[in-house]
């Protein structure tokens, strides 16, 4: 295996620490906020099926490719690519993987932070008992009131960006990484409690059938693109975040096993969130397709009705904030490390610069829910368009480039050496990254007319 490379960042003590950090990045708002609402908007079962297939045949192989490139390149994505380009005698064009990733992370965090702000505000609402015994109408009105107030959203967004900058400035290994060890299992257990509640909510059968019986007449090509984009988003793929963590993976740890573990945990959390939420939707005659407010319109109803709801509700939103926090760090870290390594900034200053820029762009998302909610480009608000461009175009495109680089350009012997798999498993991985990912991404892109509109042809 690759023992010649030493890292400037030290190594994780074991593969296990890498799994925790990467799971901290993967599990976040994507699983609990985004997965349910896009599933609701895209008709349910068929969408879920496409998403699961994408995780299996695109997500896991691309995750393995990112980890292997990261471990081989031993640096931040942009600098790792520089090393790998030399090793593969490839064109300097491929540095675009690092660049695009850094930009995608910045764009995603700008709205991710606004949504994490909603979760922060729901910590206080739950703790104050606002939802005790609340009706669906009251819960819905509470959410509408929050998002229609630019000042509230601005406040919570600012607070969340501060939290992110704080951790990134001190270096990720202090504290938060350790906290994730306890908080992830806690989130998991709490989701199981909520699934238990949903089982008895009266909407379980309908919720389960919405999620798991596919009806392909309800799924458009745009829906397929959103499912595929989400496979990248939820696993933190396509922008070099996992590559960055891969740089810390010890040489003896198995890339395939760790990737399966991370993807498995991530998928389980998303499915549990779906199983907890949709029964509440149907039991209260709500619409599955209400959009980004879905979890905020449903879960408080359950907390308001269950015994110990103030405690469970507060704890849930706290855990959601932590999950978002550990994901936010991986979105901004490539930019911060790049500023440190290539622009000679101190870590503190780099975090400040990256954080302030991200915060400023986030204002667009803050106002897209109120002041400029009616300003539509390509039928989308600012937030929707930013999400579409990043999740559904930049991440799959990044994944496509990573697949081509790892599958076609990196010498065969290097990926074989890094992955250290038996011949059949290796051939399967290579087939998936060389053919399946690039073809799938292109076929889906070609069929989505919104992409033609945005790019003007
Ligand atoms: N995966 C995270 C979530 O589901 C979000 C995230 C963190 C991300 N880092 C990323 C998405 C890198 C894309 C790329 O909430």
304 close to 113: Cβ distance less than 8 angstroms:
no
How is residue 54 written in tokens? Answer: 């994408």
* Residue 144 within any structural domain of the chain: yes
- Three-state secondary structure call for residue 178: helix
What pLDDT does 3 receive? 40
Question: Residue 249: which domain range?
Answer: 15-454
Torsion, Cα of 454, 39, 231, 34 (10° steps): 80
What pLDDT does 5 receive? 43
- The DSSP annotation for 269-298 comes to HHHHHHHHHHHHHHHTT--TT--TTHHHHH
- Which pLDDT band, with edges at 50, 70 and 90, does 183 fall under? confident
* Residue 10 within any structural domain of the chain: no
Mean pLDDT of 199-222: 94
Mean pLDDT of 132-148: 96
Half-sphere exposure for 190 (CA within 13 Å, toward CB): 22
321 close to 123: Cβ distance less than 8 angstroms:
yes
How is residue 51 written in tokens? Answer: 């998403």
Residue 10 clears pLDDT 60, i.e. is over it: no
Q: How far apart are CA 122 and CA 314, in angstroms?
A: 8
CA distances in angstroms from 130 to 124, 135, 309, listed in the order given = 9, 11, 11
Distance (Å) from CA 262 to ligand 1 centroid = 13
Is the CB–ligand 1 distance for residue 25 below 6 Å? yes
Residue 383 clears pLDDT 80, i.e. is over it: yes
The DSSP symbol for 33 reads I
Half-sphere exposure for 336 (CA within 13 Å, toward CB): 29
Mean pLDDT of 148-173: 92
Among 168-177, 317-326, 356-365, the range scoring the smallest mean pLDDT is 168-177
What pLDDT does 344 receive? 86
Q: Residue holding tokens 């669906």?
A: 136
How is residue 80 written in tokens? Answer: 């790792």
Distance (Å) from CA 306 to ligand 1 centroid = 31
Residue nearest to atom 8 of ligand 1 (CA): 236
What's phi and psi for 380, nearest 5 deg? -125, 150
Among 140-154, 176-190, 323-337, 404-418, the range scoring the smallest mean pLDDT is 176-190
How high is the mean pLDDT of the chain? 92
What pLDDT does 171 receive? 76
pLDDT in tens, 400-425: 999 999 999 999 999 999 999 999 99
Buried b (16+ CB within 10 A) or exposed e, 140-164: bebbeebbeeeebbbebbbebbebb
**Count of domains for the chain:** 1
390 close to 104: Cβ distance less than 8 angstroms:
yes
pLDDT in tens, 273-284: 999 999 999 999
- Which pLDDT band, with edges at 50, 70 and 90, does 176 fall under? low
Distance (Å) from CA 230 to ligand 1 centroid = 9
Half-sphere exposure for 290 (CA within 13 Å, toward CB): 18
Mean pLDDT of 430-457: 91
Residue nearest to atom 4 of ligand 1 (CA): 30
What pLDDT does 18 receive? 85
Distance (Å) from CA 345 to ligand 1 centroid = 25
Mean pLDDT of 425-445: 96
User: Residue 239 CA: which ligand 1 atom is closest?
Assistant: 14
CB count in 10 Å sphere of residue 382: 21
257 close to 63: Cβ distance less than 8 angstroms:
no
Q: How far apart are CA 156 and CA 146, in angstroms?
A: 10
- Which pLDDT band, with edges at 50, 70 and 90, does 80 fall under? confident
Is the CB–ligand 1 distance for residue 43 below 6 Å? no
pLDDT in tens, 328-368: 999 999 899 889 888 888 999 999 999 999 999 999 999 99
24 close to 327: Cβ distance less than 8 angstroms:
yes
Is the CB–ligand 1 distance for residue 26 below 6 Å? yes
Is the CB–ligand 1 distance for residue 241 below 6 Å? yes
205 burial level (CB within 10 Å; 0-12, 13-18, 19+): exposed
Residue nearest to atom 14 of ligand 1 (CA): 236
Residue 160 clears pLDDT 90, i.e. is over it: yes
* Residue 200 within any structural domain of the chain: yes
User: Residue 242 CA: which ligand 1 atom is closest?
Assistant: 12
* Residue 7 within any structural domain of the chain: no
Q: How far apart are CA 296 and CA 130, in angstroms?
A: 13
Residue nearest to atom 12 of ligand 1 (CA): 236
What pLDDT does 13 receive? 57
Residue nearest to atom 10 of ligand 1 (CA): 236
* Residue 256 within any structural domain of the chain: yes
User: Residue 330 CA: which ligand 1 atom is closest?
Assistant: 9
Distance (Å) from CA 237 to ligand 1 centroid = 7
pLDDT in tens, 192-209: 999 999 998 889 999 999
Mean pLDDT of 357-380: 95
What pLDDT does 366 receive? 98
Residue 295 clears pLDDT 60, i.e. is over it: yes
Nearest C-alpha neighbor of 235 from the set 119, 375, 61, 379: 61
Distance (Å) from CA 312 to ligand 1 centroid = 25
Distance (Å) from CA 31 to ligand 1 centroid = 9
* Residue 182 within any structural domain of the chain: yes
280 close to 300: Cβ distance less than 8 angstroms:
no
* Residue 122 within any structural domain of the chain: yes
* Residue 143 within any structural domain of the chain: yes
3-state helix, strand, coil in the chain (%, to 5): 80, 0, 20
Residue 49 clears pLDDT 80, i.e. is over it: yes
What pLDDT does 456 receive? 80
How is residue 413 written in tokens? Answer: 């012997």
Q: Residue 102 sits in a domain of what CATH number?
A: 1.10.4160
User: Residue 238 CA: which ligand 1 atom is closest?
Assistant: 14
How is residue 62 written in tokens? Answer: 């691309």
Mean pLDDT of 208-227: 96
Residue 153 clears pLDDT 90, i.e. is over it: yes
Is the CB–ligand 1 distance for residue 176 below 6 Å? no
Ligand 1 pocket mutation pick from 241, 295, 398 by most atoms within 8 angstroms of CB:
241
């Amino acid at each position: 295996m690759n023992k010649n490379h030493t890292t400037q960042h030290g190594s994780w003590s074991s593969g296990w620490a890498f799994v925790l950090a990467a799971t901290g990045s993967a599990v976040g708002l994507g699983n609990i906020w985004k997965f349910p609402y896009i599933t609701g908007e895209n008709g349910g079962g068929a969408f879920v099926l496409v998403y699961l297939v994408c995780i299996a045949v695109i997500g896991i192989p691309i995750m393995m490719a990112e980890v292997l490139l990261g471990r081989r390149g031993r640096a931040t994505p942009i600098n790792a690519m520089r090393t790998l380009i030399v090793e593969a005698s490839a064109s300097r064009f491929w540095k675009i993987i690092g660049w695009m990733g850094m930009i995608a992370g910045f764009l995603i965090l700008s709205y991710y932070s606004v949504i994490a702000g909603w979760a922060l505000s729901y910590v206080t609402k739950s703790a104050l008992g606002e939802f005790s015994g609340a009706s669906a109408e009251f819960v819905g009105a509470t959410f509408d009131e929050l998002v229609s107030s630019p000042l509230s959203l601005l406040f919570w967004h600012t607070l969340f960006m501060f939290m992110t900058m704080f951790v990134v400035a001190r270096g990720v290994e202090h504290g938060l990484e350790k906290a994730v060890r306890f908080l992830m299992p806690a989130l998991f257990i709490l989701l199981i409690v909520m699934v238990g509640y949903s089982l008895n909510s009266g909407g379980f059968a309908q919720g389960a059938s919405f999620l798991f019986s596919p009806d392909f007449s309800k799924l458009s090509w745009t829906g397929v693109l959103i499912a595929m984009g989400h496979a990248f988003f939820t696993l933190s793929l396509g922008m070099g975040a996992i590559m960055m963590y891969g740089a810390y993976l010890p040489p003896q740890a198995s890339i395939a096993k760790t990737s399966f573990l991370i993807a498995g945990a991530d998928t389980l959390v998303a499915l549990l969130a779906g199983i907890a939420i949709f029964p509440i939707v149907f039991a209260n005659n709500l619409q599955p397709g209400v959009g980004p407010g879905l979890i905020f319109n449903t879960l408080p109803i359950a907390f308001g009705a269950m015994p110990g709801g103030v405690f469970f509700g507060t704890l849930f939103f706290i855990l959601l904030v932590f999950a978002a926090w550990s994901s936010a760090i991986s979105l901004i870290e490539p930019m911060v490390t790049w500023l440190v390594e290539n622009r000679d900034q101190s870590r503190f200053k780099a975090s400040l610069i990256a954080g302030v820029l991200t915060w400023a762009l986030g204002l667009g998302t803050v106002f897209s829910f109120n002041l400029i909610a009616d300003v539509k480009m390509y039928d989308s608000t600012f937030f929707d368009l930013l999400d579409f461009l990043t999740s559904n175009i930049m991440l799959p495109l990044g994944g496509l480039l990573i697949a081509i680089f790892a599958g076609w350009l990196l010498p065969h012997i290097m990926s074989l050496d890094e992955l250290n798999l038996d011949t059949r498993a290796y051939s399967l991985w290579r087939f998936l990254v060389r053919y399946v990912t690039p073809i799938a991404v292109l076929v889906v892109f070609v069929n989505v007319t919104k992409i033609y509109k945005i790019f003007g042809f």
